[in-house]
Structure 1
Amino acid sequence: MKIVTTHTADLDSATLREARALLDDVFQGDLDDHDWDHSLGGVHALVWEGTDLVAHGSVVQRRLMHGGRALRVGYVEAVGVRADLRRHGYGAAVMAALERVIRGAYDMGALSSADEAIGFYAARGWRLWLGRTWALTPDGARRTEENDGGVYVLPVTVAPDLAGDLTCDWRDGDLW
């Protein structure tokens, strides 16, 4: 297993195509262009077995508002492991690399978890956000009830009130 962390700007187009193809396979067609776009512009963790890309994840900067502050947050996107290699430490390797970046550069980490990954993130110390979720939209603040109970955070330099409100910045596609 070879783990590479690098910024999007340092990835060639062939590697980006390979990462997108891996994620399309992992998410079985449920990764749209907006989801892919959300994973770009930050640091990628890529896991290789020989010449095969077998796992991917990225962390991008977002601004989340909580407790009257705009927090610099490392937001985890597009974590996926090739189906035949799951439960062999590849996802943990991706997250360890991304968490190193988060702990070194951000106030807090955050992610929106699929139901099947909740135990994985919780075991790594990620904490469920118990409060309400919101988004700053072009029309003002809007509740995102559909995301309540699915957002996890990794506190770094802040001690958030997990029962408070958490507001994300605007972006096209899924807000969380």
Structure 2
Amino acid sequence: MKKLMIFLFLIILLTGCTSKTNEEIRWFKSQKEAIAYGLKYEEIKKNDILEVVDLKDENVVVFKFDDPYGKGICIAHLIHKDNQYQWYRDLQRVILKSEKPNVGNLNVTTDFKTINGKEYKLYLGVAENSNFTINTDTELNVKPKIDQDTGMYYIIEKK
């Protein structure tokens, strides 16, 4: 029985760690086509895109999403290489806002890198009010960008 449990655990672990399939990693002739693919891949609508941020060497799409457990914000990279574009998300979705008692609201900070290795910090969470500010690693009392529909916020800051 113990061997069976270990085997099942390993199967679940390996299933959760598999990389994207070739169908999911696709290249497009334009950034617009890559974004259209990303909308379908992420199962979001065009108005769920909060911003396309120009990080000099790559654009990052900030988008909100709904999940059965709540709402969240995530980012996807728009990689440009050899006159082609790719939608690529390497961060997991995180539920920031939920009505469920066992989930609640969450504030998150994570690091990410562009394709060229430049490092950024992403701050996500739920704003308490319209004058809400946060302290980042480099500044105090920074006003984040707040989605008016959900009250969720985000900031991208260079490390």
Greater RCO (CA < 8 Å, at least 6 residues apart): 1
Q: One fold, TM greater than 0.5?
A: no
**TM-score, scaled relative to structure 1:** 0.28
Normalised TM-score (structure 2)? 0.30
Q: Which has the larger radius of gyration?
A: 2
More helix by share: 1
